[in-house]
Chains A and B, each alone.
Chain A
């Protein structure tokens, strides 16, 4: 069975702090995709990244970076120098390669960045 665990329910930081959101997944598939989405208070899910299981390179996009480690089944997300606008719920999700529209979601981590 596929499963995504985001152990951190809520995180609160002060602006400019770095913060890492953890994501651990379970799957028997050898080929799969991992995603991160952001859900601001408005409710609309915003795509952040998709990672193929064959690509273990870390990725950096501005203040965002992702660390994918198959050995520990983790796909962690780091925000550097956090800003108040980063306050949102962040979701990690998993899909198998043959059906990557059927996402299996973690329960999300609510991030509050305080001024």
Chain B
């Protein structure tokens, strides 16, 4: 089976712009979670989607949003980008409650 894929792998944006990141889970996995990783804050949970519904949400401002499609692919969107949004954004998928499989991440740089 192919692993979790994320596109693009690298992005450079400027403040005020918006960005959309994509995640394709492992085939058959219906849960997709998103995490932000920064040197200062470490890994922080953004949100989880299951069967096109947001099931959990972390403590991030409303500028961070996401959605999931019927094929379980997920996108996350960040509007009005700030310098502090520069991070590695990781997507994880899971089939059961056992474990999550992570993708390689999207490295976002905000200038």
Contacts and interface: CB of A to CB of B under 8 A. Distances in A.
A99 interface: yes
Nearest to A47: B99
Interface-centre pick from A101, A102, A103, A105 (highest chain B CB count, 10 A)? A101
Contacts of B105: 43-44
Contacts, number: 50
Interface residues of A, number: 21
Interface in A20-34: none
B interface: dominant SS: strand
B99 A108 contact: no
Nearest to B42: A107
B104 A101 contact: no
Contact of B94 (A99, A101, A106): A101
B56 A47 contact: no
A104 B41 CA distance: 12
Q: Which 6 A-B pairs have the closest CB atoms?
A: A105-B43, A45-B102, A107-B42, A44-B104, A102-B56, A47-B99
26 contacts: A37-B102, A42-B104, A44-B103, A44-B105, A47-B101, A50-B99, A99-B56, A100-B97, A101-B31, A101-B33, A101-B55, A101-B56, A101-B92, A101-B97, A101-B100, A102-B33, A102-B45, A102-B48, A103-B35, A103-B43, A104-B45, A105-B42, A105-B44, A106-B42, A107-B42, A108-B42
